[in-house]
A and B are shown apart, each in its own frame.
Chain A
Amino acid sequence: MSNPILALTYASLLLATSFVLFRPDEGLFWQWQRQRQLTHRVLSEDALKHIYKNELINNVTTLDSVTGAIGISGNQTAILLNEMAKHGLLQVEGTEFNLTKRGRVSALHILRAHRLWEHYLAEQTGFVESEWHERAELHEHNMTLDDIDSLSNSLGNPTHDPHGDPIPTSRGDLVYHGGIPLSSQEIGQRLHIVHLEDEPKTLYSQLVALGLHPGMEIQVLEIGQHFVRIWAAGDEHVISPLLASNISVVPVSEPDLDDMDESERLSNLDIGQSCRVMRISKQCRGLERRRLLDLGVLPGTVIKAEMRSPSGDPTAYRIREALIGLRKEQASMISVVPL
């Protein structure tokens, strides 16, 4: 029989090694695999996307900006861009890089794949919002034109991704949302969010945490030197000017269903209390929204909170004579007026 102390030591070493190698996300094995996926094709596609986005906002693309965007050394970037120019994807003028017509078409296809993937992740999977972008970055490179078209078809040819960015059509048509950064708005103006910048991830996570989403109505209350105070999602928020510049808005053209004076959410209803539904938040999308509609949660429907699970969540609501259990997160998507 073996010595138990020795056996324990060996086994612990083995477990520690496999933890270092295969730990979720940060394990060495996964890092190595990700590194391997950064092939030539992926890098050049990322460079195309970067130049295209710069052209949209009339920024000049330089060697340094490409290097920063795709994360390889300056030397490697120079070689990469040279090769791309040779293939007729871009042209060099002094220190500036511009896309050729062919380059622009390729860039649009990648953008289309990326935004369709984000749409798919948002509508049909359970991934959290802050992960959509990274996952789409991985998948956009592995799709043929046919794949992209069939994905678009299966999603019902959506026009916008979940951040409010327009999705190019298969012919390359694209209408920009035309929003202006929140940081340069007048005080008191009622505004619609048309776009939330999803890069960098840390800033985007903060936007998500505030409960902001495209299509929502907000108002600027005060602009200070180091902060912007806004009214959104039924509450006041103080955000940094940097964060505010990542939110694009347009003035509200017609008085819409009002996001401003959200009085009450279904999740705040006490047991035994009844309420009338105002609307379902725009944040609740895709299958989730359709399920609520299927259950008969419509503007005007009367809902009564019947009972709560002994563990505090979910709560059962009486909706059109049926007893339906809903979790807190879902119930908080429904704006109501208590009766």
Chain B
Amino acid sequence: MSDNKTKSLLETAEKLRWDVGSTFHEGVVESIYADAAHIADRAVNQKEKSSYFDLDRTIDGLVTSRLFGFPLMVLMLTVVFWLTISGANVPSSMLATLLLDNLYPLLKTASSTIGLPWWLDGLLIDGIYLAMGWVISVMLPPMAIFFPLFTLLEDLGYLPRVAFNLDNMFRRSGAHGKQALSMAMGWGCNAAGVIATRIIDSPRERLIAIITNNFALCNGRWPTQILVATVFIGALVPAHLAGIISALAVVTIALLGIVLTFAVSWGLSRTVLKGEVSTFSMELPPYRPPRILQTIYTSIIDRTLPVLWRAVLWAVPAGALIWTSSNVVMGDLSIAENIVEYLNPFGILIGLNGVILLAYILAIPANEIIIPTILMLTVLSSRMDSFGAGAGVMFELDSLEGSLAVFQAGGWTLLTAVNLMLFSLIHNPCSTTIHTIYKETGSAKWTLISSLLPVAMGLTITFFVAQIWRLVGGVG
């Protein structure tokens, strides 16, 4: 074709574009769809359904009814948590016995037999190995139970109904109903929750879901909550009420997390992530009998193991850091003690203490090792010789009385306990989650915001709680 001809053709095309108007494109798309629908209607025969009884409709009527919809959701969630926590106890302690009580002394003996220098032995076995062992024994069993249960509910078709029920509340806070699902996933593990936000199409609402996922109290933080609640809050009431009161305290914290999720979503969608809530069009699939074996297999391969593997990798630097900081001496004290001294005034000001703050810095890689780290650091800095296994060696105590004794020696009060529970809910995500957020958003800015926003909130909230507590005469 000659150049002239091309040019005049292009010019005609350009002119025609203005003549056909702005809705031309959509008109074409619509007529293509209409044709497709017409062909399908002609060629496909629909089976007549019996109108007497439709199981799907009956179930839907129940799970989305005004009366039973929300109670059923809470019930379902409670059952999942109860199965997770009570079911994980036994395998967790078995793993702990194997990795920490049996294998650890064996490794120690082996290293002294081959004559490893004390610092290498400490760094590798007391630091890195113990941190890894701890993460595996605390993290693996609950995740191996929670994720398959969660996937089963998903497979069954129940979870889309949860999003359907909750969408209105999320819409009002400027977020998407599917955030209900990523939030629920976050109760298992925030890193998995962040990955689960992929189901949200709109980038704005997906970011909101990612940033607020940290307010879903993850499995790794439940043990801290339960221990502190039992030791301090359960002790306030008569023994027969202790169990229920401390359980209620933990549930209150988890509910506070949900409230914060809505509040922060609301705040974000009115400031940095301004915008209208995009559309909600979600298929509510028919109920199907779940494929149990396949579900368990895929959820362990796709969700549990990758998350666990990343957590174990992150435990390596954490363990090394914890051991090194408590064993390298600067001046008269170890690095860890120096930092604790330095952080203590600020820690006390916000109703915590230097040990807790340092533990939260050292244990950024994994929330699972918070309690062992706090115990070890408390024993180290208050020079108690009757507990623990030496500087930099994390441990946990079998008896609640033992934990209480250590905490009291560290100067803990009821305020410390309450603020620790608050701070455990409202602080930076663990490094596994931060890493995942970076991979999912591809943006250093949003990763930074998701990491720093909760810490800033946590410090502010604990600060105000502490001041008001002291003002009304509480001891702290």
Which residues of A are in contact with B by a Cβ distance under 8 Å? Answer: 1-2, 4-5, 7-8, 11, 15, 24, 125-128, 131, 156-160, 164, 166, 169, 171, 173, 175, 214-215, 282, 285, 288-293, 295-296, 298-301, 306-314, 316, 321-327, 329-330
Contacting residues of chain B (1-50) with chain A, CB-CB under 8 angstroms: 14, 17-18, 21-23, 25-26, 29-30, 33-34, 37, 46
* Partner among B22, B30, B167 whose Cβ is within 8 Å of the Cβ of A159: B22
Write the chain A residue with the least CB distance to B73: A310
* A314 in contact with B280 given A4-B467, A159-B18, A215-B22 (CB within 8 Å): yes
Distance in Å from the Cβ of A22 to the closest Cβ of chain B? 9
* Partner among A8, A15, A171, A289 whose Cβ is within 8 Å of the Cβ of B471: A8
Can you show 21 pairs from A to B with CB atoms below 8 A apart? A1-B470, A4-B470, A7-B349, A8-B467, A127-B276, A173-B14, A285-B26, A293-B30, A293-B33, A296-B37, A298-B34, A300-B37, A306-B60, A307-B60, A310-B165, A311-B167, A314-B164, A323-B283, A324-B284, A325-B164, A325-B283
Does B164 contact A309, Cβ atoms closer than 8 Å?
A: yes
Distance in Å from the Cβ of A52 to the closest Cβ of chain B? 19
Distance in Å from the Cβ of A242 to the closest Cβ of chain B? 27
Most B CB contacts (10 A, CB to CB) among A2, A291, A296, A323 go to A323
Most A CB contacts (10 A, CB to CB) among B26, B29, B65, B66 go to B26
With A173-B18, A282-B23, A289-B26 given, can you name 16 additional A-B contacts, CB distance below 8 Å?
A1-B348, A4-B470, A8-B471, A24-B270, A24-B272, A125-B204, A126-B277, A127-B276, A159-B17, A311-B169, A314-B167, A314-B168, A322-B283, A324-B284, A325-B281, A326-B281
How many Å lie between the Cα of A169 and that of B13 in the bound state? 13
Dominant secondary structure at the A interface:
loop
* Partner among A166, A313, A326 whose Cβ is within 8 Å of the Cβ of B18: A166
Q: Which 3 A-B pairs have the closest CB atoms?
A: A311-B168, A126-B275, A310-B69
Write the chain B residue with the least CB distance to A156: B25
How many Å lie between the Cα of A169 and that of B278 in the bound state? 30
Does B168 contact A127, Cβ atoms closer than 8 Å?
A: no
Distance in Å from the Cβ of A126 to the closest Cβ of chain B? 4
Does B284 contact A288, Cβ atoms closer than 8 Å?
A: no
Contacting residues of chain B (243-294) with chain A, CB-CB under 8 angstroms: 270-272, 274-286
* Partner among A7, A166, A171, A288 whose Cβ is within 8 Å of the Cβ of B279: A288
Residues of chain B contacted by A169 (CB below 8 angstroms): 14
Residues of chain B contacted by A4 (CB below 8 angstroms): 466-468, 470-471
How many Å lie between the Cα of A100 and that of B460 in the bound state? 59
How many Å lie between the Cα of A215 and that of B25 in the bound state? 14
Does A126 contact B280, Cβ atoms closer than 8 Å?
A: no
Does B281 contact A311, Cβ atoms closer than 8 Å?
A: no
Contacting residues of chain B (58-95) with chain A, CB-CB under 8 angstroms: 60-61, 64-66, 69-70
Distance in Å from the Cβ of B267 to the closest Cβ of chain A? 9
Does A290 contact B171, Cβ atoms closer than 8 Å?
A: no
* Partner among A24, A128, A131, A310 whose Cβ is within 8 Å of the Cβ of B65: A310
Residues of chain B contacted by A24 (CB below 8 angstroms): 270-272, 274
Most B CB contacts (10 A, CB to CB) among A215, A308, A311 go to A311
Does A325 contact B471, Cβ atoms closer than 8 Å?
A: no
Residues of chain B contacted by A282 (CB below 8 angstroms): 23
Distance in Å from the Cβ of B69 to the closest Cβ of chain A? 4
Most A CB contacts (10 A, CB to CB) among B270, B277, B279, B471 go to B279
* A5 in contact with B471 given A24-B270, A158-B22, A160-B22 (CB within 8 Å): yes
Chain B interface size, as a band, is 35 or more
Distance in Å from the Cβ of B436 to the closest Cβ of chain A? 24
How many Å lie between the Cα of A339 and that of B33 in the bound state? 23
Distance in Å from the Cβ of A68 to the closest Cβ of chain B? 28
How many Å lie between the Cα of A312 and that of B66 in the bound state? 9
Residues of chain B contacted by A214 (CB below 8 angstroms): 22
* A307 in contact with B275 given A299-B34, A314-B280 (CB within 8 Å): no
Does B18 contact A330, Cβ atoms closer than 8 Å?
A: no
* Contact indicator per residue, chain B 345-387, by CB within 8 Å of chain A (1) or not (0): 0001100000000000000000000000000000000000000
Distance in Å from the Cβ of B299 to the closest Cβ of chain A? 25
Does A126 contact B23, Cβ atoms closer than 8 Å?
A: no
Write the chain B residue with the least CB distance to A290: B29
How many Å lie between the Cα of A298 and that of B41 in the bound state? 13
Tell me, yes or no, whether B202 is within 8 Å of chain A by CB.
yes
Does A126 contact B283, Cβ atoms closer than 8 Å?
A: no
Residues of chain B contacted by A291 (CB below 8 angstroms): 279, 281
Does A127 contact B274, Cβ atoms closer than 8 Å?
A: yes
Residues of chain B contacted by A326 (CB below 8 angstroms): 279-281
Write the chain A residue with the least CB distance to B174: A126
Residues of chain A contacted by B119 (CB below 8 angstroms): none
* A310 in contact with B467 given A215-B23, A325-B164 (CB within 8 Å): no
* A325 in contact with B70 given A290-B29, A298-B30, A301-B37 (CB within 8 Å): no
Does B276 contact A126, Cβ atoms closer than 8 Å?
A: yes
Tell me, yes or no, whether B423 is within 8 Å of chain A by CB.
no
Distance in Å from the Cβ of A310 to the closest Cβ of chain B? 4
Tell me, yes or no, whether B187 is within 8 Å of chain A by CB.
no
Most A CB contacts (10 A, CB to CB) among B160, B163, B204, B275 go to B275
Most A CB contacts (10 A, CB to CB) among B21, B165, B171, B280 go to B280
How many Å lie between the Cα of A175 and that of B18 in the bound state? 7
Tell me, yes or no, whether B297 is within 8 Å of chain A by CB.
no
How many Å lie between the Cα of A2 and that of B202 in the bound state? 47
Distance in Å from the Cβ of B88 to the closest Cβ of chain A? 32
Distance in Å from the Cβ of B461 to the closest Cβ of chain A? 11
How many Å lie between the Cα of A11 and that of B160 in the bound state? 43
Distance in Å from the Cβ of A278 to the closest Cβ of chain B? 13
Distance in Å from the Cβ of B394 to the closest Cβ of chain A? 30
Distance in Å from the Cβ of B279 to the closest Cβ of chain A? 5
Residues of chain A contacted by B460 (CB below 8 angstroms): 11, 15
How many Å lie between the Cα of A331 and that of B65 in the bound state? 21
Most A CB contacts (10 A, CB to CB) among B33, B66, B272, B460 go to B33
Does B64 contact A330, Cβ atoms closer than 8 Å?
A: no
Distance in Å from the Cβ of B45 to the closest Cβ of chain A? 12
Tell me, yes or no, whether B57 is within 8 Å of chain A by CB.
yes
How many Å lie between the Cα of A300 and that of B65 in the bound state? 30
Residues of chain B contacted by A329 (CB below 8 angstroms): 279
How many Å lie between the Cα of A131 and that of B464 in the bound state? 37
Tell me, yes or no, whether B414 is within 8 Å of chain A by CB.
no
Most B CB contacts (10 A, CB to CB) among A215, A291, A298 go to A298
How many Å lie between the Cα of A298 and that of B36 in the bound state? 10
Residues of chain B contacted by A310 (CB below 8 angstroms): 64-66, 69-70, 165
How many Å lie between the Cα of A203 and that of B241 in the bound state? 63
* Partner among B30, B65, B284 whose Cβ is within 8 Å of the Cβ of A316: B284
How many Å lie between the Cα of A126 and that of B277 in the bound state? 6
Tell me, yes or no, whether B404 is within 8 Å of chain A by CB.
no
Write the chain B residue with the least CB distance to A293: B33
Tell me, yes or no, whether B321 is within 8 Å of chain A by CB.
no
Does A312 contact B168, Cβ atoms closer than 8 Å?
A: yes
Tell me, yes or no, whether B166 is within 8 Å of chain A by CB.
yes
Residues of chain A contacted by B18 (CB below 8 angstroms): 159, 166, 173, 175
How many Å lie between the Cα of A205 and that of B11 in the bound state? 38
